[in-house]
Amino acid sequence: RVLVGIKVDESHANWVTAYNMLTGIRVAVSRTNAKIDRNLTDADFYVKQKSTFDIAGNELVPSAKYDFKFKDYAPWVFRHLRTLFRLDPADYLMSLTGKYILSELGSPGKSGSFFYFSRDYKYIIKTIHHAEHKFLRKILKDYYQHVIDNPNTLLSQFYGLHRVKMPYGKKIHFVVMNNLFPPHRDIHQTFDLKGSTIGRDYREDDLGKNPRATLKDLNWMRRKRHLELGIQKKQMFLTQLQKDVRLLQRLHIMDYSLLVGIHDLKRGNEENLRDKTLRVFNPGGNIPEEQDVPASVLMRTPSKLEGQRRARELRHMIQAEKPVLMGETSNRMPDELEEGQSRPGFVFNQDDGGFRATHEDNTPGDEIYYLGVIDCLTHYGIIKKLENFWKGLSSDRSQISALAPQQYGERFYNFITGVTMSQEQATREAQEKDAA
């Protein structure tokens, strides 16, 4: 099943980084999870816990393959956040502990951040800039309170904030967050929407080469797309979005976008879009190796029984305060994909993990949307002010993506409001436009 082996040379550095990230998470998270739960204190928001890993290991830190330092930020806050987001502690560790993690080929954004998927595709590790890291720590309390007040928030769900540092290497900060897209459904189209038009165009000519590219605002408008939600769902969605945007405005955040993944039920999963081959890091093996593996093989979730057995093993190890070591859990893949693993209880994940389109009369439509507000750690700092100034000299200021946070939020919210309507309403509006 494993297709091609790729020799490790220049990309070896990435492999070690990935290995160290996972080892650090595993040890840090099991350490916090092993303790009896307690209420948060103010101090918890500012805690950093440092571990030094080496080949020898010691009482507190198991031996590792490489020398590196690891920092776990606000571990109790993130433990509580994971509970609020209803993650099972054992499941979380298992996903990030499994034999494989995946990396998307390259880094999708312009920022140079790297993205890694957990083996089961549920979690994303994103490396972030030092400024974003500092900022997240600063706003953590507001974010935490927002999640308490808004269990259905559309904002990125942060599950952990960490740092690795290798000898002579740079400090690498990263977050663990939710993958908005489900492991078990083809996503036929992806849009990253900001409500801006300038520079917000994916070259349509390039779509042939890369049919699964993330499209932007202008591509959305060209296609006359809508988020086809009936009256009730539209209201639920926009009400939550507004609350989330208000928080971002208050915290002077900008540059975020609404990520929209569309699953077309008429097309189903037949095209096996998920079956693209992904670069795999295999930290569980005895020798560092990277391989290309069909994604479907890796995204298979363990069968219920298998999953329960592995969860038991893990709980056992966690309770025993024994760090979970690589390769100790079974990695056997069952043949069946488990369908419909939605996230129970969350409004925008109620339809097979997403939010299904509805008609005006509330009957279900043909699409499932996977929605969330991403990239929300950019503070309107001096850099953005400069960017605004320079771009402002040359074009219409309200169309520039770097606006002050207040205006950015307004433009963003207005744009999304404007494109959220049932198919019927969209048709009516188009006819009215034609008539005028």
Residues 149-168 that bind ligand ATP (CB under 6 A): 156
- CA dihedral sign of residues 166, 169, 171, 173: negative
Minimum gap (Å) between residue 71 Cβ and ligand ATP: 21
User: Do β-strands 277-281 and 171-178 pair in parallel, antiparallel, or remain unpaired?
Assistant: unpaired
The DSSP result for 112-142, as a single string, is ---EEEETTSSEEEEEE-HHHHHHHHHHHHH
When CB distances are held under 5 to 8 angstroms depending on the partner's kind, the choice from Ca ion, ligand ATP, none that residue 371 binds is none
Which residue's CB is nearer to ligand ATP, number 53 or number 369? Answer: 369
Per-residue b or e along 356-380, where b marks 16 or more CB atoms closer than 10 Å to that residue's CB: bbbbeeeeebebbbbbbbbbbbbbb
- CA dihedral sign of residues 82, 88, 90, 93: negative
Range in contact with ligand ATP (rule: CB under 6 A) among 42-50, 107-115, 230-238, 393-401:
107-115
Which residue's CB is nearer to ligand ATP, number 108 or number 381? Answer: 108
The answer to whether residue 201 forms part of the interface with ligand ATP (CB under 6 A) is: no
Please, what is the Cα angle at 64 between 62 and 70, to 5 degrees? 85
Which residue's CB is nearer to ligand ATP, number 190 or number 303? Answer: 190
The answer to whether residue 131 forms part of the interface with ligand ATP (CB under 6 A) is: no
How many positions of this chain bind ligand ATP (CB under 6 A)? 18
The answer to whether residue 412 forms part of the interface with ligand ATP (CB under 6 A) is: no
Residue of 97, 375, 380, 405 interacting with Ca ion (CB under 5 A): 375
Range in contact with Ca ion (rule: CB under 5 A) among 17-25, 40-48, 106-114, 363-371:
106-114
Contact 89, 101 (CB under 8 A): no
Residue of 118, 179, 196, 422 interacting with ligand ATP (CB under 6 A): 179
Q: How far apart are CA 346 and CA 150, in angstroms?
A: 11
The answer to whether residue 192 forms part of the interface with ligand ATP (CB under 6 A) is: yes
DSSP at 205: G
The answer to whether residue 197 forms part of the interface with Ca ion (CB under 5 A) is: no
Contact 29, 294 (CB under 8 A): no
Amino acid identity for residue 118 in this structure:
S
When CB distances are held under 5 to 8 angstroms depending on the partner's kind, the choice from ligand ATP, Ca ion, none that residue 350 binds is none
Half-sphere exposure at residue 298, Cβ-oriented, CA atoms within 13 angstroms: 30
Residue of 177, 253, 280, 314 interacting with ligand ATP (CB under 6 A): 177
Minimum gap (Å) between residue 156 Cβ and ligand ATP: 6
When CB distances are held under 5 to 8 angstroms depending on the partner's kind, the choice from ligand ATP, Ca ion, none that residue 152 binds is none
Amino acid identity for residue 75 in this structure:
P
Minimum gap (Å) between residue 189 Cβ and ligand ATP: 11
Residue of 49, 113, 152, 342 interacting with ligand ATP (CB under 6 A): 113
Task: Please give the residue ranges that form the binding site for Ca ion (CB under 5 A).
Answer: 111, 375
